[in-house]
Amino acid sequence: MGIERLGYVQVRVTDLNVARAYYTNVLGLREVEVTADRAYLKAWDEHDHHSLILRQAATSGLDHIGWKLESAADLEQIETRAERAGARVERLPADADLATGPAIRFETPSNHIVSLYFGMQKVGNGLPKLNPMPRPAGLIGIAPPRLDHLLVTTEHVPESTRFFESVLGFRLVEQVVTDDGVQVAAFLERTRTPHDIAFVPGRDGGLHHFAYWLDNFSDLAPAADLLRMNKIGIDIGPTRHGITRGHTIYFFDPAGNRNEVFTGGYYVDSDFEPISWSADQLGPAIFYYEGKLNEAFLSVYS
Amino acid sequence: MGIERLGYVQVRVTDLNVARAYYTNVLGLREVEVTADRAYLKAWDEHDHHSLILRQAATSGLDHIGWKLESAADLEQIETRAERAGARVERLPADADLATGPAIRFETPSNHIVSLYFGMQKVGNGLPKLNPMPRPAGLIGIAPPRLDHLLVTTEHVPESTRFFESVLGFRLVEQVVTDDGVQVAAFLERTRTPHDIAFVPGRDGGLHHFAYWLDNFSDLAPAADLLRMNKIGIDIGPTRHGITRGHTIYFFDPAGNRNEVFTGGYYVDSDFEPISWSADQLGPAIFYYEGKLNEAFLSVYS
Amino acid sequence: MGIERLGYVQVRVTDLNVARAYYTNVLGLREVEVTADRAYLKAWDEHDHHSLILRQAATSGLDHIGWKLESAADLEQIETRAERAGARVERLPADADLATGPAIRFETPSNHIVSLYFGMQKVGNGLPKLNPMPRPAGLIGIAPPRLDHLLVTTEHVPESTRFFESVLGFRLVEQVVTDDGVQVAAFLERTRTPHDIAFVPGRDGGLHHFAYWLDNFSDLAPAADLLRMNKIGIDIGPTRHGITRGHTIYFFDPAGNRNEVFTGGYYVDSDFEPISWSADQLGPAIFYYEGKLNEAFLSVYS
Amino acid sequence: MGIERLGYVQVRVTDLNVARAYYTNVLGLREVEVTADRAYLKAWDEHDHHSLILRQAATSGLDHIGWKLESAADLEQIETRAERAGARVERLPADADLATGPAIRFETPSNHIVSLYFGMQKVGNGLPKLNPMPRPAGLIGIAPPRLDHLLVTTEHVPESTRFFESVLGFRLVEQVVTDDGVQVAAFLERTRTPHDIAFVPGRDGGLHHFAYWLDNFSDLAPAADLLRMNKIGIDIGPTRHGITRGHTIYFFDPAGNRNEVFTGGYYVDSDFEPISWSADQLGPAIFYYEGKLNEAFLSVYS
């Protein structure tokens, strides 16, 4: 009951066609639907209509975050909890445009808009339900199987953590804390992975990155090759995070939104005791191999 | 709420010391505790006291399956549902021997004994909760991070599936069905993976195998090397399952219990529409690369 | 000086178009040239005109083996040595059809026809000689970078070994020997790898398999996937050889010629002391993980 | 005939015991012999006595480079060519200390001392010559199988290239050239790999790094883990070279000598047409994923 997983992110791009070309040919998502100012895309092994909406706009950045609910009853429960926590909740009817069932939407203490929905149109993963092959033929680009998580920036990390814990049922897995015990970054989960969302320092409402899953460390090499063969700048990687233990590559879409391919991590029990990183260990916490942040990590985001 | 995950398996071994040597040195589990007739072991990245109990006995095979619950309240709820379904439920107090909190225990339609418990003593994963390394130094053997799933045999696959769905809250992910629509094998999940338990044809109460997780396909090569360098017979693999899409090696512990190391699979939503395999495709369904079963798969188990 | 490497194999196929479709779309070779009854193919990272000639014929099997020489002077030296060893050497002029410079051709004690040539037309690897990318865009199929080695069958293993050592300058790396010291299989090299050619028991003139190289163990998983997704039967693998230590998949082209993708092995010095395998260890020697031969290995070849 | 391969490097370390601990426990070499001021080490799959000599000294850096010859006759031939090229050649008798047979030694135009020797004492790779396992049990650390190549610095790259080509029989594989056609870096081979030695800009006699081989890209992850778990600073990587196409990690030994683990590359024919990189593409040429040099690459070496 409650939030099932990160359903989709809607991000702004400054040239929709350029972004579509990148997300389909290089990242290797499938384009499910295109409208005048939007493109709906999904990773190949996702069954729902989309995990990414690109919206043509003057700037890059995050419009809202879609969370898939396990049941219709979750809508009401979360609405109640969100309102008690002071959020102004908007009810949305089933939306043909978003291909979703009924939803609620509100702003978090970090000034991010979250949309919680029950029921998204299913388009399938391109494989039959009878005797399927392990993957469809003819995948192109990096072709990750699915969306994994996102990081957002905020000036209110502790408040955001508490809101996501108390209102949305997330569990804290890892955090960075100062000597004075102030939480400066927080990694939270709903799916027994090290993070479905994380909060890092930055302006409220910012998008640090969203990440697609890869199955194996060895998949990072052809992914990095494809990025560079297509002249996509790699921010950092392949490298490893201390936090989450995941292996990663960061890079930017043509509009400047940071993308990640991520693999690894670990299984998280519901009674997992959170891991803490002291602020002076932020370097290895973020980039375990380098032992220090690269310049862009905390300063460049959309 | 409900079953959190497969907690442990208790299996019989015919020579406890030989089995202990194998499970620690070759499979690479950590021995947490040893009593007169039992050894408690855990994979390195597990935090709870054990995921495997070896019991000295005259024969190999499965004693019971331990399922970890998310809350104490689950005990009562499942007890009620199990009794309604005709099971005779035994209440167990917190058990120092099993290092668990209160539990209930009963027999399933497949004649397997399941134990559902809330709260197991935590021993940690060998890493600090402050600024941990990605893994402990000095791991030996295959050293999988955690237990993943088990397969059991039964003459009553459809009844077992229904019982696990209705009483224990499992969801069907994949199945093998005859032309007449009879379910001959079933793969069910609680943790959004392709299977936490599966039922395959065989005598009631049998153990087909239990599986430890590996993070990468490339981890299968050193695993297979270590098995053979230690003269452990490989049943089959490295190969790939059609069902679950996982990559795998099967092998036997010294007492004859089948083990597996498993990686891959896919993420399963709660509204996942199950995949079916027709019985004439059982070969590629089980061993996708070979396209047919090996002799031992359906006939040899403990 | 002498033989530089295995240059190409010319094999017979019973349906040239079916074979062409397989070798280009599934194995992922590039077709360089097609004539009425032949197709010339190369792996993507080879620079010379071809490493495989398919010839339309009534049966499958090996026509001849092409060895690339380091210098024109090698032709005469090897001709002299071959004639001294009793071979009837045929001189071939530069051949536009084979895209090679001058060559000599003769039959070995194992009844295989070898062609030694100096100079083959270069077609390049699809990458510029100035600032190249790491690989061409748009590779399809398994797409190995290059031909690696071949195994042939003979009733005369020791004579073949001696001939390849004394006439062609090969070095013995590994062998299988009976208790009586009879060599029943031999693996020989010219390129500091565990084998460029090997002799295994079977009828004279037979082709056991020819193998293309893969860079990583992890490349075997997508290779096996592609084979099965295209309904190509896998003979065995992914598995590991005891001999050569290589990781491997064996499979058959549509005409019945056995192919292999191979990775691993080790570097061999010119003063390497050969490794021996006792005949009763033939199982792990050939298939280290299985510990025994599969049925087809010694009986099925073309 | 001629140089068989890079045999060993002798480097200076400022604390022999600290260096020994690092090279055995972290890099995972085997220590074969220790004297008052030297330690002789080998990678596990090497058969000769050593591939690395550590010498206690006041500074780090390279003492000399040992090249293994294929035959005793090579000594005289290369001596003649070296003297004609103006080198002052020193003849060394068989040397028990170096565990080598007779050798010649001279300085190259880049002020590096090279030692060419025929015959080094064999100590084996820890595996029997009859029915060996694929690797010895109990390897620790990164445990590369063998030494692969080295890079040295010089103010005289073109002269060094010509000397290594004409006197030592190396072949140019890749080079960096300015718009005016000046060669600023050169990669040369004797073993059909992209480089056995390379010359990059820097002071004469400098050591940029020496590299040990790993078999798979996926081996880079545990290697990087082990380095950081042992607090060894990673210079850069895992990343990919444009030049050689190899995947790599650079790091420093405790004395400040740069080490590399390297995998990949490609097979080089003797008639390979060299690849050129324009100087303005030096970034991707050296670090293909980053597209630019890190600060340390050209400025920090020993």
Query: The complex's ipTM?
Result: 0.96
Tens digit of pLDDT for each residue in C246-302?
Answer: 999 999 999 999 999 999 999 999 999 999 999 999 999 999 999 999 989 989 999
Write out the catalytic residue numbers of D.
149, 195, 209, 241, 250, 260
Cβ–Cβ contacts within 10 Å for residue A59, how many? 10
Quote the tokens at residue D284: 């991707």
Q: What is the overall mean pLDDT for chain D? A: 97
Question: What would the pLDDT profile of D171-190 be if each residue is shown by its tens digit?
Answer: 999 999 999 999 999 999 99
pLDDT tens profile A155-182:
999 999 999 999 999 999 999 999 999 9
Distance CA C4, CA C191 (A): 7
| Phi-psi sector, A131: left (phi>0), alpha (psi -120 to 50), beta | left
How far off is chain D from B193, nearest CA to CA, in Å? 24
List helix spans (H) across chain B. 16-21, 73-84, 157-166, 220-229, 282-286, 296-299
Band (pLDDT 50/70/90 cuts) for residue B97 is confident
Q: The whole model's pTM is what? A: 0.97
Enumerate residues 6+ apart whose C-beta is below 8 A from B231.
Answer: none
Say how far apart CA A207 and CA A302 lie, in whole Å.
5
Cβ <8 Å between A284 and B131: yes
Q: φ, ψ for residue B157 (rounded to 5)?
A: -65, -55
Mean per-residue pLDDT, B56-76: 97
* D48, D51, D55, D59: CA torsion to nearest 10: 170
pLDDT bracket for residue D96 (50, 70, 90): confident
Confidence band for C194, pLDDT divided at 50, 70 and 90:
very high
Q: Judge whether residue D263 has pLDDT over 80.
A: yes
**Domains in chain A: boundaries:** 3-117, 146-301
What number of C-beta contacts closer than 8 Å exist between A and D? Answer: 44
Q: Return the higher-pLDDT residue of D96 and D100.
A: D100
Q: How far apart are CA A104 and CA A122, in angstroms?
A: 20
Which residue do the tokens 């021997």 mark? B97
**Quick one: average pLDDT of B114-142?**
97
**Percentage of chain D modeled with pLDDT above 90:** 96
Predicted local distance difference test score (pLDDT) of residue D99: 82
Q: Who among B227, B228, B240 is closest to C224 (CB)?
A: B240
Quote the CA–CA distance of C170 and C189 in Å, as a whole number: 5
> What whole-number percentage of chain B has pLDDT above 90?
96
- Secondary structure string (H, E, C) spanning chain D: CCEEEEEEEEEEECCHHHHHHHHHHHCCCEEEEECCCEEEEECCCCCECCCEEEEECCCCEEEEEEEEECCCHHHHHHHHHHHHCCCCCEEECCECCCCECCEEEEECCCCCEEEEECCECECCCCCCCECCCCCCCCCCCCCCCEEEEEEEEECCHHHHHHHHHHCCCCEEEEEEECCCCCEEEEEEECCCCCCCEEEEECCCCEEEEEEEECCCHHHHHHHHHHHHHCCCCEEEEEEECCCCCCEEEEEECCCCCEEEEEECCCCCCCCCCCEEEEHHHHHHHHCCCCCCCCCHHHHCCC
How far lies D293's CA from each of A288, A300, D235, in Å?
Answer: 20, 21, 11
Same fold, C3-117 and C146-301: yes
Inter-chain CB proximity C137 and A229 less than 8 Å: yes
Per-residue pLDDT at D100 = 87
Cβ(A140)–Cβ(A30) under 8 Å? no
Residues B152-164 pLDDT 10s: 999 999 999 999 9
Q: What is the pLDDT of residue C295?
A: 84
Give the tokens for residue A144. Answer: 């990750």
For position B80, what pLDDT does the model report? Answer: 97
Residue C54 has what pLDDT? 98
Burial class (CB in 10 A: 0-12, 13-18, 19+), A292: exposed
User: Residue A95: what pLDDT?
Assistant: 83
pLDDT tens-digit map of D133-159: 999 999 999 999 999 999 999 999 999
Residue among C217, C218, C233 minimizing CB distance to B291: C233
Tell me: pLDDT of D59 over 80. yes
Query: Rounded to a whole number, what is the distance in angstroms from the first to the last CA of chain B?
Result: 32
C191: which chain D residues are within 8 Å (Cβ-Cβ)? 192, 267
Give the model's pLDDT for residue B1. 82
Structure tokens belonging to residue D21: 């601990």
The pLDDT, as a whole number, for residue D98 is: 75
CB contact under 8 A, A225 and C137: no
- Residue B139's pLDDT is what? 97
Flag whether pLDDT at C220 surpasses 90.
yes
Catalytic positions of A, please?
149, 195, 209, 241, 250, 260
Segment B236-253 mean pLDDT: 98
Q: Measure CB to CB from residue A145 to each of B146, B217, B266 and give the nearest one.
A: B266
Instruction: Determine the average pLDDT of the residues in B190-217.
Output: 98
A277 → chain B, closest CA residue:
B131
Q: B146-301: which CATH number, 3.10.180.10, 3.40.1160.10, 3.40.630.30, 3.10.129.10? A: 3.10.180.10
**Over chain C, what is the mean pLDDT?**
97
Q: What is the pLDDT of residue B95?
A: 83
Quick one: pLDDT at residue C15? 98
Please indicate whether, in this complex, the C-beta atoms of A289 and D238 are within 8 angstroms of each other: yes
Which pLDDT score, from 0 to 100, does residue B220 have?
A: 98
Q: Please check whether residue D208 is in contact with residue D258, taking contact to mean a CB–CB distance below 8 angstroms.
A: yes
Picking from D218, D228, D247, the nearest residue to A288 by CB comes out as: D228
CA angle, residues D40, D43, D46, in degrees to nearest 5: 100
Give the pLDDT of residue D124. Answer: 98
Q: Which chains touch D (3 or more CB pairs under 8 A)?
A: A, B, C
Q: Residue B143: pLDDT above 90? A: yes
- Of the listed ranges A293-302, C72-81, C226-235, the least confidently predicted one is A293-302
**How large is the average pLDDT for residues C15-40?**
98
Interface of D with C (CB under 8 A): 1, 4-5, 45, 47-48, 68, 70, 122, 129-132, 134, 145-146, 191-192, 213, 215-218, 240, 242, 245, 264, 266-267, 269-270, 272-278, 281, 284-285, 288
Q: How confident is the model at residue C19 (pLDDT cuts 50, 70, 90)?
A: very high
The mean pLDDT value for D20-35 works out to 98
A70-106 per-position pLDDT tens digit? 999 999 999 999 999 999 999 999 987 778 899 999 9
Whether the predicted pLDDT of B99 surpasses 90? no
Q: Please tell me the predicted confidence (pLDDT) of residue C236.
A: 97
Residue A50 has pLDDT above 80, yes or no: yes
Answer whether CATH 3.10.180.10 is correct for domain C3-117. Answer: yes
Rounded to the nearest angstrom, the minimum Cα separation between D24 and chain B is 15
pLDDT band at C124 (very low <50, low <70, confident <90, very high): very high
User: pLDDT > 70: what percent of chain C?
Assistant: 100
